[in-house]
Amino acid sequence: MAGAVRWRLAALFICTLLATPAFAQTGAVTARSVAQADNGNWEMPGKNVAATRFSAMREITPANVRNLRVAFTASTGINRGHEAPPLVIGGTMYLVTPFPNKLIALDLTKPGAPTKWVFNPKPPTAAQGVACCDVVNRGAVYANGRLFFNTLDGRTVAVDARSGKLAWQTKLGDIQRGETMTMAPTVANGKVIVGNSGGEMGVRGWIAALDTGSGRVVWKAFNTGPDKDVLIGPRFRPFYAMDRGKDLGVKTWPPGAWKIGGGSVWGWVSYDPQLRLIYYGTGNPGPWNPEQRPGDNKWTTGVFARDVDTGQAVWFYQSTPHDLYDHDDINEIILVDMPVAKRMRPVLLRPARNGFFYVHDRRTGQLLSAKPYSYMNVAKGIDPHTGRLIPVPEKEPKVGRVVRNICPAAPGAKDWNPAAFSPITGVVYIPHINLCMDMGALEANYIAGTPYVGADVKMYAGPGGNRGVFTAWDPVHARKVWEFKEDLPLWSPALATAGGLVFYGTMDGWFKAIDQRNGKLVWQFKTGSGIIGQPISYRGPDGHQYVAVMSGVGGWAGAIVAGKLDPRDGTAALGFVNAMKDLPARTDAGGMLYVFTLPR
């Protein structure tokens, strides 16, 4: 079936080529999307299980985008970071908010999109105290008439899309141990795939699959500990020797440290329906102070491929063995097919937090290429034979001294906010950051429900003085196509459209459209608050193309505004405040939906 989908997609893709002048100008199109065809809805944050964030809508183009204007807006009434995308299913739009995680349904068939219903899961207020980086939520997902999302206090809830009534809820996380849930679930083969957050709180990371019908846990796999907990069995064949061995989730840690070692799952899960594999990355090991956890700290800061039905691990690749800088590996995983040595290969693309753009064969985990897409000075490269990251020894944090000029900083070359892939150009559009940091390690004490970090950090702009970068990356040739600087860190994901545009937002509130071919700014609109939300595009009930985004600054980068932090202390918000002292003068908090369309 998936093969058929792929061929259909290929057909659609050829039509797109014929219709789009962009093709002729950018040369060979080589990487191919494996996403299902676009039905005009936006049903999950990544647009599809291949996580392309590509909309087949083409009404809005570089030629007419200057006329784009606001169609309607809606306030969420919440002053924290809005990272979630609006979802659109038929004539209804759904917004999931930061804590207290309300789910709001708007009726798109009526003028002004009035509220249909609001579902309030009522998480306890105490949950706010164990959310490391603002009380964000990264979105809901739609399947079979229900919306699935996570609440900050560690529940996965299923809500009937029509009535707004609770279908089921399953309690998975425990705030007493510092666990929250902020990621957007992925639905794959009748299961809701979810994971925990709390890598700064000494949690033990896990991923779980719940039955979409009942909420029952089908399988649950930990990312640290003995093989039986990690669901490592006979099917597990990591490509590289560094990831092979019995109970590495125990042996690569000091005694017992794996129980509080992190490896949470707060980012993105992709799914290949043909291979029946899910792909996700694991978070940082805890504490940040690396001297407290000698060893490779398996299975943190790496990528797992698991069987969707059983959860059994199929392969793993550790991007950053013994992470030194909080370089979680949870970023998006984009599935495409592309030529490698003149042969089409099923691959996955990862613009990772440690600054490398990884291409793996998604059947085996074999590394096909890994090149830096952003400035870095803490790694020399990746050994092509062992697959192992080569660190720069003098940049290793040690207790009692401050290591200066570590690039990229703790949030990496790119944090959670995903890139988009356009099959028109074959290019990945990466909104990311250019920050370096000073870091001093300290002895961290584990006290359940409190931070387990052990580091003092101060971040600042990297070389060039700009804190944000937008990079267009050709995954086939592993090279930059174009790039431009942004003053503020880019904390909003990208959206690519068949009209030839890329949309993204900035932390001072500009919502921008650029031309896919050259990165030229072709339209911008100033929203009420900084944008860290996920832009989407859909076909409205009137048959026309719309573009929507949540405005509402916050998140780790925007914590200085959302949490009213004091800029005199640069170490505030785990050191991010030092780099964002100008933000309070440039934007203020306030969650608001903006929807745009062309005038008619």
Partner 1 sequence: MSSPCRASLALAAVALLGGCDREERDSRGQPVTETVPAGATADTIYPGGPSGSTVTLSPKAAAYENNAYHIAQGQQLYGQMNCVGCHAHGGGGMGPALIDDEWRYGGRIEQIATTIVEGRPNGMPSFRGKLTDTQIWELAAYVRAMSGQVRKDAVGARTDEPSNTPPLTQTRREPIVPGEDATP
For the chain, the farthest-separated pair of C-alpha atoms sits apart, in whole angstroms, at 67
The yes or no reply on residue 585 touching partner 1 (CB under 8 A) is: no
Pick the piece of the chain touching partner 1 (CB under 8 A) from 52-60, 163-171, 464-472, 574-582: 574-582
Secondary structure (H, E, C), 124-176: CHHHHHHCECECCCCCCEEECCEEEEECCCCEEEEEECCCCCEEEEEECCCHH
Distances from the Cα of 385 to the Cα of 113, 237, 242, 348, 389, angstroms: 56, 16, 11, 19, 11
Shortest approach of partner 1 to residue 260 CB, angstroms? 13
Shortest approach of partner 1 to residue 12 CB, angstroms? 46
Judge whether 238 and 315 are in contact, CB under 8 Å.
Answer: yes
The yes or no reply on residue 553 touching partner 1 (CB under 8 A) is: no
573: three-class secondary structure by DSSP? helix
Which are the contacts of 58, defined by CB distance < 8 A and separation ≥ 6? Answer: 16, 19, 20, 497, 498, 499, 500, 545
Shortest approach of partner 1 to residue 444 CB, angstroms? 8
Nearer to partner 1, 368 or 442 (CB): 442
Q: Where are the beta strands (DSSP E) in 198-323?
A: 206-211, 217-222, 269-272, 277-281, 302-307, 313-318
Judge whether 356 and 367 are in contact, CB under 8 Å.
Answer: no
Neighbours of 458 (CB within 10 A): 22
Count of residues of this chain found to bind partner 1 when the rule CB under 8 A is applied = 43
Nearer to partner 1, 336 or 560 (CB): 560
Nearer to partner 1, 133 or 221 (CB): 133
Pick from 296, 438, 474, 515: which binds partner 1 (CB under 8 A)? Answer: 438
Shortest approach of partner 1 to residue 454 CB, angstroms? 9
Shortest approach of partner 1 to residue 323 CB, angstroms? 18
The yes or no reply on residue 599 touching partner 1 (CB under 8 A) is: no
- Can you read off the two tokens belonging to residue 422? 């356009």
Pick the piece of the chain touching partner 1 (CB under 8 A) from 12-20, 203-211, 452-460, 474-482: 452-460
The yes or no reply on residue 401 touching partner 1 (CB under 8 A) is: yes
Which letter does DSSP use for residue 314 in this model? E
Nearer to partner 1, 46 or 449 (CB): 449
Shortest approach of partner 1 to residue 449 CB, angstroms? 5
Sign of CA dihedral 493, 166, 196, 336: negative
Catalytic site includes residue 542: no
Pick the piece of the chain touching partner 1 (CB under 8 A) from 112-120, 312-320, 439-447, 498-506: 439-447
Shortest approach of partner 1 to residue 495 CB, angstroms? 30
- Can you read off the two tokens belonging to residue 198? 């709390």
Residues 94 to 133 in contact with partner 1, rule: CB under 8 A: 125-133
Q: Catalytic residue, from 284, 289, 297, 434: name it.
A: 284
In whole angstroms, what is the distance from residue 193 CA to residue 308 CA? 9
The yes or no reply on residue 573 touching partner 1 (CB under 8 A) is: yes
**Cross-strand pairs, 472:** 429, 482
The yes or no reply on residue 559 touching partner 1 (CB under 8 A) is: yes
The yes or no reply on residue 303 touching partner 1 (CB under 8 A) is: no
Pick from 153, 200, 229, 329: which binds partner 1 (CB under 8 A)? Answer: 200
Q: Catalytic residue, from 296, 326, 328, 515: name it.
A: 326
Per-residue string for binding with partner 1, 453-492, x by CB under 8 A? Answer: x--xxx----------------------------------
Q: Catalytic residue, from 43, 83, 134, 200: name it.
A: 200
Nearer to partner 1, 171 or 401 (CB): 401
Catalytic site includes residue 284: yes
Which are the contacts of 32, defined by CB distance < 8 A and separation ≥ 6? Answer: 9, 10, 13, 336, 337, 338, 344, 423, 426
In whole angstroms, what is the distance from residue 468 CA to residue 453 CA? 26
Pick from 208, 572, 579, 593: which binds partner 1 (CB under 8 A)? Answer: 572
Report the chain's C-alpha Rg in angstroms. Answer: 22
Nearer to partner 1, 2 or 402 (CB): 402
Catalytic site includes residue 200: yes
CA dihedral angle for residue 136, residue 142, residue 145, residue 146, rounded to 10 degrees: -30
Element (H, E) at 8: helix 2-19
- Can you read off the two tokens belonging to residue 357? 């753009």
Nearer to partner 1, 129 or 339 (CB): 129
Per-residue string for binding with partner 1, 357-396, x by CB under 8 A? Answer: ----------------------------------------
Active-site residue set: 200, 284, 326
- Residues of this chain that bind partner 1 (CB under 8 A): 125-133, 200, 400-402, 438, 440-442, 444-445, 447, 449-453, 456-458, 559, 563-575, 577
